[in-house]
Amino acid sequence: LDTTLIIEGGAFTGAIATQLGGSIRARGADLTLQGVTFADNATSGSGGHLAATDGVITISDSRFSGGEAQTSGGGLWFTGAV
């Protein structure tokens, strides 16, 4: 299954996750973020703003601030063939 997600503009603020990726968890997907703001997101796992595994991640003109993760990757966390 080939999956592509494109997000242009917008904001993810104050999101809380209990496992991976405070705002976004991308697993095996191609993800493009353009002009997106991430602020004050958190997770009890990894990737305060974004957690991604086994996909292509493209980020441009985006802002990350105040991300928290209890395990690893306060802002971003990538693993596998990313």
pLDDT at 41: 97
Closest CA to 33 of 68, 54, 62: 62
pTM of the model: 0.90
Q: Is the pLDDT of residue 82 over 70?
A: no
**pLDDT tens column, 8-53:** 999 999 999 999 999 999 998 999 999 999 999 999 999 999 999 9
Q: What share of the chain has pLDDT > 90, as a percent?
A: 83
56-to-34, 38, 44, 52, 69 alpha-carbon distances in Å: 14, 19, 24, 9, 22
